[in-house]
Amino acid sequence: MSRALDRPVASFLAAATDPSRFPPESVPEVALMGRSNVGKSSLLNALAGSRVARVSKTPGRTREIHFYDVRLGSGKAPVALRLVDLPGYGYARVSREVTREWPVFIEAFLSRRASLALCLLLVDLSVPLQESDRRMAEFLAATGRSWRVVATKADRVPSSRREVVIRGFREAFPVPVDPVSVRTGLGVRETWEGLVQAAIPVR
Ligand SMILES: Nc1nc2c(ncn2[C@@H]2O[C@H](COP(=O)(O)OP(=O)(O)O)[C@@H](O)[C@H]2O)c(=O)[nH]1
Ligand SMILES: [Mg+2]
């Protein structure tokens, strides 16, 4: 991978709820999804190398899909991708179905968005796997999308227990599970390289 890919330039593009206001499907997209407070915005900032997304103190605040443009490299062959921050689920405690908690526009995005190249399902490694995460995984598998799991907040799991906890998460999903921490930087670079390859495979 070229060194130019180490220096992405990210900028906020749009916030939308209505599919008619989604940006044109012109650039490959990678969506980040997961429960409120799992670390979506923090990871997006770490991946993009700048603080473009707001990290909230109050869970459940983001109610729109946020699109961020990311430019890689420069000169003769700049390439572009988009990071997409989806509203968190699992904030309304009692709801039983992911799709019931989620507004219709998110389902529209996940099932019909032609430029969506990869979905990253974020789960919190420092707490037990939640039923809502399992349901989200089933939902994603049913869409037929390419997806992976990113296990966040790995720094909160003592290193003596980390391998065992990671193994348990890996057994729970049919796709790769990559542990990350934005505090220590663990796994951030690998996640970035993996998503660039998925979004822009021909390099
Ligand atoms: N210890 C630790 N805290 C994190 C990590 N990632 C996110 N957080 C914290 O988790 C909270 C929620 O993060 P945020 O990115 O807003 O989550 P979002 O609701 O999924 O977008 C914030 O207080 C973050 O500082 C991590 O890797 N390690
Ligand atoms: Mg957020």
The pLDDT tens digits for 130-168 are 988 998 999 899 999 999 999 999 999 999 999 999 999
SS3 170: helix
- 53/44 Cα distance (integer angstroms): 7
Distance from residue 38's CA to the centre of ligand 1 (Å): 6
Distance from residue 196's CA to the centre of ligand 2 (Å): 21
In this predicted structure, the answer to whether residue 95 has a pLDDT above a threshold of 50 is no
Considering the four listed CATH numbers 3.40.30.10, 3.40.50.1400, 3.40.50.300, 3.40.1350.10, the one that applies to the domain covering 3-199 is: 3.40.50.300
- 174/177 Cα distance (integer angstroms): 9
Q: What is the pTM of this model?
A: 0.91
Domain ranges of the chain: 3-199
- 17/37 Cα distance (integer angstroms): 20
- 142/140 Cα distance (integer angstroms): 5
Pocket test for ligand 1, best of 44, 51, 55 (most atoms within 8 A of CB): 55
Q: Which has more confidence, 191 or 58?
A: 191
User: For residue 91, what pLDDT band results from cuts at 50, 70 and 90?
Assistant: low
- Region of 39 (left: φ > 0; alpha: ψ -120 to 50; beta: rest) is left
